[in-house]
Structure 1
Amino acid sequence: MPAMLIAGPEVEPLTLAEAKIYLRVDHDAEDALIGSLITAARATVEALTRRVLIDQSWRIVRDAWPASGLIAAPVNPLKTITGAHVLDAEGAEVGVPTDALLADTARLPGLIRVACGTVPAPGRPIAGIAIDVVAGHGADADHVPSPLIEAVRVVLAHFYEHRDEQGAGAAFPARLDALVAPFRVARL
């Protein structure tokens, strides 16, 4: 079940100024590079933990409604369901009633509970269902657990220090695993 990013975070977990202080950079010549490395570091920590750090909008695409009525969210922590639709045989969107889907946000991974008798069936066999959700710890870095912010710093420093290496480059520092391990979301 793929998830597609609709809208990324409005802010990054580190500001450019915070990143430059951490990297001990006191000039502006590499601001664009450091800005892109902040984004790459956040994305890396998100991939390692299977968690979205700052709130983002995602679309979950499915072929059919599950018989169990439960959909494990591929992006976590799940916050809200913002909309859903199915595609009919001609490709037109048919809205799903908002009360037919319930976000169970107390679990990791989050669950979407489907009231199976009240949702329209998709009219095509592949990618006929779309559920739009918001996932993340909050709108800004203040809501992100501090070990994950530190993990972003560690990855940022690694990327900055090893930016000229070819191929796979140097391995991440061992402390990165200790920072992200307690926050990894298991796959179902």
Structure 2
Amino acid sequence: MPALLLAGPPAEPLTLAEAKAYLRVDHEAEDALIAALLTSARATVEALTRRVLIDQSWRIVRDAWPASGLIPAPVNPLRDLLAVKLIDAAGGETALPLSAFTLDVARLPGLIRVDRAAVPAPGRALAGIVLNITAGHGSSADHVPSPLVEAVRVVLAHFYEHRDVPGPGAAFPARLDALIAPFRVTRL
């Protein structure tokens, strides 16, 4: 069940000014580098925790409705279901009513319950179901748990300090694991 990113976050968990202050950089010569490292640091924390920090739009593609009627969200925390479409054999799309779906956003991973009696089977065998969702902690960094923001700082500093050092000497600091461990989403 692949998940495809439709729209990334509108901002990073840290501003460029906050990142530069944390790194103790007071010049503008490396602004582009720091901005790129900040994006990489956020993406790394997201990969390590299996959750996105700031709201993003994602597409879940399925071949068939699950027998259980439950679709675990591959991207968490699940916030909203935006649209569900069936794809027919010719590639045409049919929108399904959102009332046929119930979200459990309190659970990690989030669950999408499908009312199987209210939805038809997809019109093609492969990738016949498309669900567009929003996942994340909120629309801004204010909604991201502070340990995860600190984890982004730790990864950013690590990337900045070790940008020229490949291999085992560039392992993440041990405190990173302590920051992210309570926030890891387990796979079902």
- Per the normalisation by structure 2, the TM-score is 0.98
Distance 1:169 1:102 in 2: 47
**Residue identity matched to 2:160:** Y
Secondary structure, counterpart of 1:42 in structure 2? helix
The residue number in structure 1 matching 2:108 is 108
**Cα drift, residue 167 of structure 1:** 5.0
1:116 is matched by which residue type in structure 2?
R
Structure 2, unaligned stretches of length 5 or more? none
Distance 1:169 1:83 in 2: 46
In 2, distance between residues paired with 1:85 and 1:18? Answer: 41
CA distance in 2 between counterparts of 1:30 and 1:4 reads: 31
Q: Is the 8 A contact 1:78 1:136 kept in 2?
A: yes
Render the CA deviation track for 1:121-178: whole Å, top value 9, x for unaligned: 1111111110000000001111000000000000000000011123566100000000
Q: Deviations over 1:40-81 (max 9, x none)?
A: 000000000001100000000101000110000001000000
In 1, the alpha carbon distance for the partners of 2:91 and 2:121 equals 13
Identical aligned pairs, as a percentage?
73
Is the contact made by 1:70 and 1:114 (CA closer than 8 Å) also made in structure 2?
yes
Give the structure 2 partner of residue 132 of structure 1: 132
Residues 1:165 and 1:131: Cα distance change in structure 2 (over 3 Å): same
Task: Pick which of 12-21 and 160-169 moved more.
Answer: 160-169
CA 1:121–1:168: 2 relative to 1, 3 Å? farther
Q: In structure 1, list runs of 5 or more residues that go unmatched.
A: none
Partner of 1:160: 160
Letter in 2 for 1:104: D
- TM-score, normalised on structure 1? 0.98
Work out the number of aligned pairs and report it. 188
1:17-42 deviation digits (Å, cap 9, x = unpaired)? 00000000010000000001110000
